[in-house]
Each structure stands twice: as structure tokens, then as C-alpha cells.
Amino acid sequence: MRVSVDAAHRRLAMASASVPSVSFRISRHTEDLAITLHALSQRLVALEQRLDCLDSELHQERANGADAEDLARLDKAESLLRDCRQLLANESADGLAAGGSPGLASFKAGALDPGSTEPKENVREWDAA
């Protein structure tokens, strides 16, 4: 029986000696995992902030691009409207100069009328307009 008691004591000593070793390894691995998890969390926060910054820049560029396109369209429309008004003003002035007949069509018809007393002058006015 003495052998089995000695064997039991040795087993107990080995078990108690290995318990702190295993506990230390578990603690060390847990600490390493905590440090790694903290570093990953900080990196994730930094990436999210960068993504938000890039997203806001993208929205700003889209808004500025759309505004520039809209302004270009409005400038073109304004230019066309100005040209139309200028043509209408010229048409009215030409119609009044041709004898009070309103409109460009009546002026043109008067200039090309073979029965007109001064067709050459009307044609010259038409060419000048």
C-alpha cells in the first residue's frame, strides 16, 4: 500500500504543478487575444472613419458635378432665349422698316414680290438683315 500512496502523492504533485502552468497559458492566451481584439477594434474604427470621410467627399463631388451640369444647361438655355429675343426684336424692326408690315415673313414676301416698285432695295435690306 505504501507504493500506491507514494504514487498518489507523485500524481498529486504533478497535477498541482501542471495546474499553474495550464492556468498561466490560458491567462497568457486570453491576454494576447484581448490585445489583438483591441487592436482590431481600433483599426476598424479608423477604417469606418475613413469610409465616412470618403463617402461625404463622394456626395459632395456628385452634388458639385450636378450643379455644374445644371448651370451649364441653364446658361445654354439662357443663351438660346437671348438669341430668340434678339431675332424677334430684329424681325420687328425689319418689319417696321419694310413699310409697317409686322413680322419677318411679310418683310421677306415684300422683298421677293416681283410687282414691287423697289424690289432691288428690298432684296438689299433682306441681305443686310
Q: Judge if pTM exceeds 0.95.
A: no
Query: How far apart (Å, rounded) are the C-alpha atoms in residues 98 and 95?
Result: 5
Quick check: 98 and 106 in contact, CB under 8 A? yes
What's the distance, Cα to Cα, between the start and end of the chain in Å?
134
- Is the pLDDT higher at 50 or at 103? 50
Query: How far apart (Å, rounded) are the C-alpha atoms in residues 67 and 128?
Result: 41
Which pLDDT tens digit goes with each residue over 74-98? 889 999 999 998 988 888 777 666 6
Give pLDDT, residue 112.
47
Which pLDDT tens digit goes with each residue over 89-122? 888 777 666 655 455 555 555 544 545 444 455 4
Residue with cell 500512496: 5
